[in-house]
Amino acid sequence: MVQADGHSQYLLRRLHTLAGVIPVGLFLLEHLFTNSMATNGAAAFNSAAATIEGIPFLHFIEFFFIFVPLIYHGVYGLYVAFTSGYNSGQFHWWRNVMFILQRITGIITFVFIVFHLWTTRFSGKAPTFEMVHQLVSNPAYFWFMIIGTVAATFHFSNGLWSFSIHWGITVGQRAQRVMSYVTMILFIVLAGVGVDALIAFTHAAS
């Protein structure tokens, strides 16, 4: 029975990391790319958003390939965050710090995504530059978005490190160390793209 429980936990963890990279991670990258169009002006963002809205069976795709994996990854991630230990003594100091930050940013990201979807996607209005501009004109909302974007990009980037281990991509210590550098560079780039887009939204449409 213990072995069965352990095997189930192993499969759930693998599915959790997979969901965080394939559907949810790709959704994050697409979201960042679309938002980055705001740096080219309102028309560029509105055109990119309209292209997304024009995808056939969009609601079906969003529900089954984004929201369902997102809910599973988020809910199971919260379970892991509040039930797993913090690897004291198992890894060196830097990895323990990353382990703790992964849990903290996971909680922040889950709250951020739920609130962000509620105020944008589920608002009943199609996303436009002006809509986002009005939202980020509120300083509290703007800084909430900044914190959420940084947390989400860190959680995704650092999560790639554990994903690569769970799926046998990085086996040795050297490969894992290199992956740490790669994922941190990726985090800096993605966070920069996200923050730059949010700043672009603060400017009135021209």
Q: What is the CATH number of the domain that holds 180?
A: 1.20.1300.10
Flag whether 71 is in a domain.
Answer: yes
| pLDDT tier, 89 (very low <50, low <70, confident <90, very high otherwise) | low
* pLDDT (tens digit per residue) in 48-64: 999 998 889 888 888 88
State how many domains the chain has: 1
Flag whether 159 is in a domain.
Answer: yes
Tokens found for residue 29: 């990258």
Separation of alpha carbons 90 and 129, rounded Å: 47
Separation of alpha carbons 78 and 107, rounded Å: 7
* pLDDT (tens digit per residue) in 140-195: 999 999 999 999 999 999 999 989 988 989 988 899 999 999 999 999 999 999 99
Amino acid (1-letter code) at residue 137 = S
Percent over 90 (pLDDT), the chain: 56
Q: Is the pTM of this model over 0.85?
A: yes
Separation of alpha carbons 95 and 52, rounded Å: 38
Flag whether 164 is in a domain.
Answer: yes
Which pLDDT belongs to residue 63?
A: 87
Residue 118 belongs to domain spanning: 2-201
Flag whether 206 is in a domain.
Answer: no
| Residues contacting residue 84 through CB under 8 Å, at least 6 positions apart | 103
Flag whether 130 is in a domain.
Answer: yes
Residue pair 130/205 in contact by the 8 Å Cβ criterion: yes
| Residues contacting residue 42 through CB under 8 Å, at least 6 positions apart | 128, 129, 130, 205, 206
